[in-house]
A and B are shown apart, each in its own frame.
Chain A
């Protein structure tokens, strides 16, 4: 049994994994998709198609515009209807490619399956990963090939396979680990080959005993891979916190990355996508998304094409139970509220949560009572209450000195605050101002 360490802070929200027993269902190709050109952290893509072009499933429609950028592919076969600005999960309209289905859903003939993929050089593998548009599928959507390219002076000794899924409600990774564990393991071996690492740890929270069992069974004969059951705690699945728990290593404060302490973390969904891209040449055009919450009749885990509007998913889950008060893309702790059901599923959409009106509390923020709960709960070791006051009073220099940019926006402070102060919003605001000022200076 591997010894576990504790990361500081964190909270224990109720799990609410109501969709954990729902097997993955194929949603299939919708009539129309809107594929945003910016689905990852980094430079947006440039469209490579024009209105009227015929595309097949898997054809490239967006070209990466830099190292920190990945390609985007057509999730259905059909005709490019327009290229313009469309609703995006971030809340404001952004450039996207609109494709109308021809109903045939045929694959592009450019797909390149590779039997001997384990003999390819790490460079070729990374190229395939960028070309196939693979990004981190846990939610942040950071281009995967960048994370797999640590500089020489930073040797990596441990590869962590992140199956923690610590956000309440979400079960997409859980189902993937139960139903397609082989693809995750194969993907992990590809990533480990790229990094030249011989130790891999599959980290799963102990509220998924069946997944832990399954993974243990499959990795029994694989010496380099081990499975670790984690104690349930949010935000266990955040990179820095996961590294601390497993390796007792602290990612350096202020701009440090996991690679600084010899670790690389990848989500299980990402690894499965890497395997499919490398082995079968299938680009990232679909993902597993949990459609959940007491607002939908049948919470499900759906395999959804990228670009499918949210409203299509609702029909697949037999509609709403009552009037909906809030729609959150992502989990309840870190997700982004949506104001339009036209917003499409993107590469980072791990789940969509529907809350009925009755569940949405209309709270009014009260003055801070200086209880310090947020400081105890903060996994980034910040003082949210102090930073919140700085943000309210435009004291951004002070906020910068108190390291507001280290905030991971996990929402723990908000969750525990008895005065219901919107701390995450204040910290995000301060963070944005500080970064803007740095850029200007």
Chain B
């Protein structure tokens, strides 16, 4: 009994001495900041930053001075917190979200044949390019849903991919994986998107889909900021210029343009400061402002789309955003 106790304690002592010696002698210096940064990150290893894992990105931040903004998955707060750890000031990048540039679900778009096979878009495109008549359309078989590390993709009952913009971090994995190239990253604050990327001629698009861009160019004409231009037979939105006024949403005859549940504001004119110069009623693209010269002008709440052009131009600063905003244009236009 005693021998056994002594033997084991002796062995334990020897082993601990050995371990202690090795720990001191061969210790690997790890910058404590690496661990601190890593703890702040998502830890989901999405790879959108260009590094294979979050810990490698953390190391790059600490050792090579890579900007913490490189992590697209982390929000503003995390970037700030990392900047604090590093003792630098964070310069924030614009947050982006993924948008599916197709609105033609099973109900709205035609099919070439009935597809029975592997439930995956990439496998389906090898069979005559997928079952949708439109060669650009979203197949809705969920390759993006499978690869999304943040569960931000939902396939609607209509067989269309919908992205939950709350969850989407803009990591861009779905953009890379989509065989139809139908997903695009757009600035998160710019909710207006033209949900079609078919470059086919208008008549061809109309045959295949009820909600595709038919190249009527109405949006190009109505946009007060020249943010929409034609690329062949497709209207393309320049997000830099877009001021999210929503005018194109209202005017698009095929309802291809959407505002992703954005609440569009309305304006009102303050009677006490309005001088009745009439500039606002002249520039209003939807003729929502009326009034006699030298008299207080009125905004028609129904017509106003909230483009806010008048606010910029009013010399008396007599126009303001009406609070609270009461309707969502994207929904109203449908």
Contact = CB atoms under 8 A, between A and B. Distances in A.
Q: Do A and B bind each other?
A: yes
B129 A92 contact: yes
Contacts, number: 38
Interface string A74-104: 0000000000000000111000000000000
Interface stretch (B39-47, B116-124, B314-322): B116-124
Nearest to A90: B128
Contacts of A261: none
Nearest to A340: B112
Contact of A425 (B126, B129, B135): B126
A38 to B, nearest CB: 15
B127 interface: yes
A339 B112 contact: yes
Contacts of A429: 118, 120, 122-123, 126
Nearest to A430: B123
B123 A91 contact: no
A91 B118 contact: no
A420 to B, nearest CB: 10
A339 B128 contact: yes
A362 B115 CA distance: 10
Contacts of B123: 391, 425-426, 429
A422 B113 contact: no
B250 to A, nearest CB: 35
A337 B112 CA distance: 12
B120 A392 contact: yes
Contacts of A425: 117-118, 123, 126-127
Contact of A426 (B113, B118, B128, B135): B118
Interface string A324-349: 00000000000011011000000000
A92 B126 contact: no
B135 A91 contact: no
A432 interface: yes
Contacts of A193: none
A160 to B, nearest CB: 31
A128 B50 CA distance: 54
A432 B129 CA distance: 14
Interface string B91-135: 000000000000000000000110011101011001111000001
A127 to B, nearest CB: 36
A342 B66 CA distance: 57
B128 A92 contact: yes
A363 B117 CA distance: 9
Nearest to A361: B116
B126 A422 contact: no
A425 B118 CA distance: 7
Nearest to A421: B118
Contacts of A428: 126
A419 to B, nearest CB: 13
B177 to A, nearest CB: 9
Chain A interface mostly: mixed
Residue in A92, A339, A363, A426 whose Cβ sees the most chain B Cβ within 10 Å: A339
Contacts of A392: 118, 120
Nearest to A92: B129
A334 to B, nearest CB: 14
Contact of A91 (B117, B120, B122, B128): B128
Nearest to B112: A339
Nearest to A326: B113
B149 to A, nearest CB: 14
A430 to B, nearest CB: 9
A91 B116 contact: no
Contacts of B118: 391-392, 422, 425-426, 429
B113 to A, nearest CB: 4
A378 to B, nearest CB: 19
A340 B135 CA distance: 15
A362 B114 CA distance: 10
A90 B122 CA distance: 16
A414 B123 CA distance: 16
Nearest to B128: A91
A153 B100 CA distance: 55
B181 to A, nearest CB: 15
A392 B146 CA distance: 11
Contacts of A92: 128-129, 135
A168 to B, nearest CB: 21
Nearest to A393: B146
Contact of B113 (A90, A339, A363, A433): A339
B172 to A, nearest CB: 17
Contacts of A339: 112-113, 128
Contacts of A337: 113, 127-128
B168 to A, nearest CB: 21
Given A92-B135, A429-B122, A429-B123, A362 B128 contact: no
Contacts of B129: 91-92
A428 B128 CA distance: 13
Given A92-B135, A339-B128, A425-B127, A362 B120 contact: no
A90 B128 CA distance: 6
A425 B120 CA distance: 11
Contacts of B117: 422, 425
Contacts of B122: 429, 433
B282 to A, nearest CB: 48
Interface in A371-407: 391-392
A257 B319 CA distance: 79
B215 to A, nearest CB: 19
Contacts of B128: 90-92, 336-337, 339
A225 B202 CA distance: 61
B136 to A, nearest CB: 12
A87 to B, nearest CB: 10
B111 to A, nearest CB: 9
Contacts of B126: 425, 428-429, 432
B132 to A, nearest CB: 11
Contacts of B113: 337, 339
B118 to A, nearest CB: 5
Nearest to B135: A92
25 contacts: A90-B128, A91-B127, A91-B128, A91-B129, A337-B113, A337-B128, A339-B112, A339-B113, A340-B112, A362-B116, A363-B116, A391-B118, A392-B118, A392-B120, A422-B117, A422-B118, A425-B117, A425-B123, A425-B126, A425-B127, A426-B118, A426-B123, A428-B126, A429-B118, A432-B126
Given A92-B129, A391-B118, 11 more contacts: A91-B127, A91-B129, A339-B113, A339-B128, A340-B112, A363-B116, A425-B117, A425-B126, A425-B127, A429-B120, A429-B126
Q: Which 4 A-B pairs have the closest CB atoms?
A: A91-B128, A339-B113, A429-B123, A339-B112
